[in-house]
């Protein structure tokens, strides 16, 4: 086995890592913004190359059909967000909300975040994955507080404290998995290597595995944003730069979800261990229903869409908790559609907040009149995230609901209730935001519309027609998830 494969994986990790170091020393904003975009694009191309050539697993790196889904989605949205970020951050520089020194730091941290997330997704070692997710957490904590306002620093500290609690629980769960593996595989590196663990897990102590999964679900569930472990997420969205909101909702939550799914597979391979599905179903439903009602109480537009992310991560975790080919397929599709849609919404919201000078919903009206492209982009995004046809999230939610009705009709009741409550809240808000007499500034804002339009076009296409290769790929991965 080759522990250091020299191929697409090397580029996926080396390009953002090297770019991060370089960007930290570049004083020119335009050059650093372009380099940030170029690096993210090269990383995305390297991720696509994994379809053609997958390296053999080593003690630290693993590329399989499951994590390719996450890596490709991660690098694509990382690229499109970098394009949006270039115009967004330029406005922050012009208005002096950020200094050139802050911008150098911002771009360097952006690439460091992409590196950490990619490393977590391709790690074949449960300890290395934990380190990578912790690095991603610390990087986003710093970026959330980059404006240096009292509210931003408070949000960063809340994120740091709650994230540290979550990552400590995940570390304890990781140690318990190693303790369960040690009597079977011996001491040393093999006790932390995924490919070794999954082959020998049927002989592990099921009691230790059960306890480990509870800690891992709570720990990584904090990063996923599941209720009641979600308190950091709304503040981080509201106070940090909007590109980081797009990355948080579209990418980082998925990375933590990936960790949960890996450990779910580990438990499923031990016949004496508990079934992880009911725990995931419970947390998923709780998050969905809770976030649906909380959407009615939001006064800040970014905070509102943060609760929408909690709602949709609840749906995804519920689907994977139900398991089976159809529910797993629906979970994968919903995760993809949510990442594309929510990042597009934040692309629109970021420029709208810059144009209007506020994030308060009460001060945002008539956006389709004052800023037609951004306003209608927001309308399409909200309609999509609410689950209206013919957009992609309608398809994935339909599959989740139909599979639940077929297998557990009683669970379908709170599921549908949560979906309807959230739908009502979003439709109530979007009417006032998009239509009526415009309020505030109507001055044009320098915006990059292509990322928003591109994401929404993909979501619309997915709702109308899913290419057969994509369907086959997701079916195959859904089968792997059990």
User: Quick one: average pLDDT of 201-220?
Assistant: 92
Among all chains, which residue has been given the structure tokens 């809770």?
290
| 166 three-class SS | helix
Predicted local distance difference test score (pLDDT) of residue 121: 94
The pLDDT value recorded for residue 149 is 84
C-alpha torsion 362→363→366→367, nearest 10? -110
Find the range with the poorest average confidence among 144-153, 208-217, 330-339, 434-443: 434-443
Average pLDDT along the chain = 89
User: How much is the pLDDT for 440?
Assistant: 66
The reply to whether omega before 193 is within 30° of 0 (cis) is no
**pLDDT for the residue numbered 1:** 41
Average pLDDT over residues 442-466: 86
The pLDDT > 90 percentage for the chain reads: 52
Residue 344 parent element (H or E): helix 325-356
Tokens of 69: 């889904």
With 0-12 / 13-18 / 19 or more C-beta atoms within 10 angstroms meaning exposed / middle / buried, residue 424 is: middle
In the prediction, which pLDDT does 444 show?
67
CB 364 within 8 A of CB 300: no
Alpha helix stretches (DSSP H) within 206-300: 206-224, 232-239, 242-247, 253-268, 277-294
Report pLDDT digits (tens) over 227-283.
888 888 888 888 888 888 888 888 888 999 999 999 999 998 888 888 898 999 999
Longest pairwise C-alpha distance within the chain: 70
Residue 22: both structure tokens together: 């370089």
Whether 480 shows a pLDDT value over 70: the answer reads yes
- 172 closest CA partner among 221, 107, 230, 127: 127
Q: Give the integer Cα–Cα distance in Å for 57 and 3.
A: 7
Taking residues 303-315, report their average pLDDT.
93
Q: Are 54 and 8 in contact (CB under 8 A)?
A: no
Average pLDDT over residues 186-190: 84
Checking if the pLDDT of 25 tops 90, the result is no
Q: Which residue has the tokens 């229903």?
A: 289
How much is the pLDDT for 131?
A: 94
Neighbouring C-beta atoms of residue 286, cutoff 10 Å: 18
How many C-beta atoms lie closer than 10 Å to residue 325's C-beta?
13
User: What percent of the chain lies above the pLDDT cut of 70?
Assistant: 97
Please tell me the predicted confidence (pLDDT) of residue 281: 94
Query: What is the rounded distance in angstroms from the CA atom of residue 134 to the CA atom of residue 140?
Result: 10
Structure tokens at 299: 């006064």
Best CA proximity match to 431, nearest among 382, 385, 392, 387: 382
Q: Tell me how far the alpha carbon of residue 134 is from its chain's centroid.
A: 15
Q: Is the pLDDT reported for residue 2 higher than 70? A: no
- The pTM score is 0.93
Residue 229 tokens, joined: 């472990």
pLDDT of residue 92: 78
What confidence tens digit (pLDDT) does each residue in 413-432 have? 999 999 999 999 999 888 88
Q: How confident is the model at residue 294, as a pLDDT?
A: 92
> What pLDDT shows up at residue 5?
44
Mean pLDDT, rounded, for 370-385: 91
Res 78: pLDDT: 93
Burial class (CB in 10 A: 0-12, 13-18, 19+), 124: buried
50-101 pLDDT per residue, tens: 888 888 888 899 998 888 999 999 999 999 999 999 888 887 777 767 777 7
Q: How many residues does the chain have?
A: 482
- Say whether pLDDT at 442 is over 70: no
State the helix-helix crossing angle for 150-185 and 126-144, rounded to 10 degrees. Answer: 180
What is d(CA 29, CA 86) in angstroms, rounded to the nearest whole number?
Answer: 9
CA-CA distance, 140 to 146, in Å (whole number)? 10
Give the integer Cα–Cα distance in Å for 399 and 311. Answer: 17
**Mean pLDDT computed over 302-325:** 92
| CA-based nearest residue to 384, from 345, 330, 328 | 345
Element (H, E) at 397: helix 392-407
Task: Give 95's DSSP letter.
Answer: T
Q: Phi-psi bin for 59: left (phi > 0), alpha (psi -120 to 50), beta?
A: alpha
What the block records as the tokens of 170 is 């995940």
Q: Which residues contact 143 (CB under 8 A, 6 or more apart)?
A: 106, 109, 110, 113, 240, 241, 244
Question: Can you name the residues that pair with 125 across neighbouring β-strands?
Answer: 193
For residue 366, name the pLDDT band (cuts at 50, 70, 90): confident
């Amino acid at each position: 086995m080759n522990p250091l494969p020299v191929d697409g994986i090397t580029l996926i990790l080396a390009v953002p890592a090297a770019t991060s170091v370089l960007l930290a020393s570049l004083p020119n904003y335009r050059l650093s913004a372009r380099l940030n975009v170029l690096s993210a694009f090269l990383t995305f191309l390297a991720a696509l190359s994994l379809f053609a050539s997958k390296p053999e697993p080593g003690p630290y790196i693993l590329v399989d059909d499951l994590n390719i889904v996450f890596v490709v989605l991660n690098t694509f949205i990382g690229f499109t967000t970098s394009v949006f970020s270039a115009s967004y951050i330029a406005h922050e520089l012009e208005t002096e909300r950020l200094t050139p020194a802050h911008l150098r730091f911002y771009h360097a941290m952006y690439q460091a975040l992409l590196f950490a997330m990619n490393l977590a997704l391709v790690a074949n070692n449960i300890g290395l994955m934990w380190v990578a997710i912790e690095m991603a957490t610390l990087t986003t904590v710093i970026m959330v507080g980059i404006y240096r306002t009292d509210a931003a620093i408070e949000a960063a500290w809340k994120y740091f404290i709650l994230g540290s609690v979550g990552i400590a629980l995940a570390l304890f769960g990781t140690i318990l998995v190693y303790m369960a593996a040690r009597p079977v595989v011996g001491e040393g590196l093999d006790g932390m290597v995924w490919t070794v663990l999954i082959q020998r897990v049927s002989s592990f102590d099921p009691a230790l595995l059960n306890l480990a999964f509870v800690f891992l679900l709570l720990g990584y569930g904090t990063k996923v944003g599941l209720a009641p472990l979600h308190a950091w997420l709304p503040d981080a969205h509201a106070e940090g730069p909007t590109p980081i909101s797009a990355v948080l909702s579209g990418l980082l939550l998925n990375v933590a979800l990936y960790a949960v799914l890996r450990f779910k597979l580990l438990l499923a391979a031990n016949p004496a261990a508990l079934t992880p599905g009911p725990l995931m179903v419970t947390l998923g439903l709780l998050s969905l229903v809770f976030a649906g009602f909380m959407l009615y109480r939001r006064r800040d537009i970014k905070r509102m869409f943060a609760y929408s992310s909690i709602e949709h991560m609840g749906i995804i975790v519920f689907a994977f908790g139900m398991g089976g080919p159809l529910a797993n397929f629906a979970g994968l599709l919903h995760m993809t559609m949510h990442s594309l849609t929510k990042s597009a919404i934040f692309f629109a919201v970021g420029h709208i907040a810059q144009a209007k000078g506020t994030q308060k919903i009460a001060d945002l009206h008539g956006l389709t009149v004052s800023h037609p492209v951004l306003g209608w982009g927001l309308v399409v995004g909200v309609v999509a995230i609410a689950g209206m046809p013919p957009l992609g999230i309608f398809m994935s939610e339909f599959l989740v609901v139909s599979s639940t009705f077929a297998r557990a009709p009683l669970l379908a009741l709170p599921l549908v209730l949560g979906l309807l409550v959230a739908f009502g809240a979003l439709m109530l808000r979007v009417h006032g935001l998009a239509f009526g007499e415009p309020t505030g500034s109507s001055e044009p804002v320098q915006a990059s519309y292509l990322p928003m339009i591109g994401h929404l076009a993909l979501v619309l296409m997915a709702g109308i027609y899913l290419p057969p290769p994509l369907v086959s790929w997701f079916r195959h991965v859904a089968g792997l998830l059990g």
